[in-house]
Amino acid sequence: MKIIAINGSPRKKWNTHILLEKCLEGAREAGAQTDIINLYDIHFKGCTSCFACKLKGNTLKKCAMKDDLEIVLEKICDCDALVLGSPIYFTSVSGEMRSFMERLLFPYSSYEGKPSSFGKKINTAFIYTMNAPSFALPLIGYTKLFKYNRKILKHIFGNSEKLISTSTYQFDDYSKYAMTYFDGQKRLKRRETVFTEDCKKAFELGKRLSESK
């Protein structure tokens, strides 16, 4: 069992990255081989609308563009489970994650109503971290975003889960930033309690992804 995690956050060792690592830790406990790829460490672009993947008779197994993402997409073709992780920026996933999703998902999507051309079923999950509190998610459109991403992942790959971490701790020292909407001490306490529980959930998610196909 091979599991790949894709980190769509530029901040290593922070919320999104921590949850992904916990997920992979659970996967390793279940006997899986794991790998994590930080999108902000590699050079690539989003879809350029070349439509090579939609040419009649094409035999492409992934996006045709040639850049650093090519080897990542090859690894995904060979994996048994895939975990995406991203902070929410301006009501959506990060720019790097959005570009990655375009390149990953579009080649396997049909304009003719055909099933996914990925070729096999794999388990997937999406881990989201955000500054927003949980009660606000449906009010600001996040719930709709999560549902759509789960729908497309299920269509392309098969089973898909999500893990949502809200009201996250963003800085070690809130006094340095113009952030009076947020109480740094309350966020720190939440990080030590609620986020700890989120880490446990991520660990269990990794185990589940590894134990079933």
pTM across the whole model:
0.94
Could you identify the residue written with the tokens 């497309």?
A: 152
pLDDT of residue 71: 96
Ramachandran angles phi, psi of 62, nearest 5°:
-165, 180
Helix (H, G, I), strand (E, B) or coil at 5: strand
Can you give the pLDDT at residue 4?
98
**In the block, which residue shows the tokens 């049909």?**
110
Q: pLDDT tens across 141-185, in order?
A: 899 999 999 999 999 999 999 999 999 999 888 889 898 888 888
Comparing 112 with 6, which gets the higher pLDDT? 6
**Number of domains composing the chain:** 1
In this prediction, residue 184 carries a pLDDT of: 87
pLDDT tens digits, 53-70: 999 988 788 999 999 999
Q: Which residue segment(s) compose the domain that 18 sits in?
A: 2-211
What is the pLDDT, as a whole number, of residue 171?
87
Report the CATH number at residue 49: 3.40.50.360
Beta bridge partners of 36: 5
Question: How confident is residue 213, by pLDDT bands cut at 50, 70 and 90?
Answer: low
d(CA 28, CA 48): 36
Number of helices followed by number of strands (H, E) in the chain = 5, 6
| Of 75, 73, 201, 208, the residue nearest 129 (C-alpha) | 201
Using one digit for the tens of pLDDT, what is the confidence trace for 75-134?
A: 999 999 999 999 999 999 999 999 999 999 999 998 888 889 998 999 999 999 999 989
Query: Residue 39's pLDDT is what?
Result: 97
